[in-house]
Amino acid sequence: MFDAKKIKKQIVEWIVEYFKNNASSETKAIIGISGGKDSSIVSALCVEALGKERVLGVLMPQGEQQDIDVAYDLCKTLDIAYVEINIKDSVQTLYDEAVKAGLELNNIATFNTPARIRMTTLYAISGIVGGRVANTSNLSEDWIGYATKFGDTSGDFSPLSDLTVTEVKAVGRELGLAPKFIDKTPIDGLCGKTDEENLGFTYAVLDKYIRDGICEDEKVKEKIDRLHNMNLHKINPMPVFKLSN
């Protein structure tokens, strides 16, 4: 049985220890806040661990973001400072320059580039204010590669990467966050479909398979295994050639 109260306490202590060993007493946690459960819960954990003065939220819409009000509400609820950097022009400039160079854009580029621009933005702000960038990934999404390499898979410290979506939500409830910050349906922002619609299975099914090895639908099991194996490069260390004696 997952003990959310115990795990929440352990994560908070872990964040405290990380900053004690890897930062000064004034170093801030820099968190890209989308309004989704992961960034909301990481923000709340960091506030509890470090105090609200040492947490800086970064909102990074790409043009207009329909649900950005949830991100605003989170910053207000936690009483944390935030900055808003619109990445639309940065992304479009890169696309335009690629086209000028004779390259043809495709779905892979247009899906992953904004996530990488956002991570670059987080590190730029981290360098300006003196901070450590929080990774907000969870185990479920990492397991099937539903993340962008050098985008949302990056960061300096990762409080939730060993927790499934189900477990992350339980920690969020233990933190006392409102349901809108925990149960908001994640949408990819491109085609308007939910994550689960794109995947073809629910996180509940995925989490059960990750933790218990049980998946009653053989086709879904095969798809999860295939996604896991083909996307391991996103979370494994980069292969390095080693000199032999």
Say what the pLDDT of residue 66 is: 87
Say what the pLDDT of residue 117 is: 98
Say what the pLDDT of residue 188 is: 59
- Residue 102: phi and psi, rounded to 5, are 90, 10
Give the percent of the chain with pLDDT over 90.
91
pLDDT(189) > 70: no
What does pLDDT average to over the chain?
95
Q: Mean pLDDT over residues 45-59, rounded?
A: 98
Domain boundaries, given as residue ranges, for the chain: 4-186
Local confidence band at 192 (pLDDT 50, 70, 90 cut-offs): low
User: Per DSSP, which regions of 16-111 are E strands?
Assistant: 28-32, 55-59, 81-84
Say what the pLDDT of residue 92 is: 97
Residue 182 in 3-state DSSP? helix
pLDDT per residue as tens digits for the range 78-102: 999 999 999 999 999 999 999 999 9
d(CA 15, CA 46): 7
Local confidence band at 167 (pLDDT 50, 70, 90 cut-offs): very high
Per the listing, tokens 């095969």 go with 222
Taking the CB of residue 46, how many other CB atoms lie within 10 A of it? 30
Say what the pLDDT of residue 237 is: 93
Structure token pair of residue 67: 């649900």
For the domain made up of 4-186, give the CATH fold. Answer: Rossmann fold (3.40.50)
Local confidence band at 227 (pLDDT 50, 70, 90 cut-offs): very high
Higher pLDDT, 184 or 75: 75
Say what the pLDDT of residue 19 is: 98
Say what the pLDDT of residue 190 is: 53
Say what the pLDDT of residue 184 is: 82
Nearest to 67 by CA among 37, 47, 43, 44: 37
Q: Mean pLDDT over residues 67-81, rounded?
A: 96
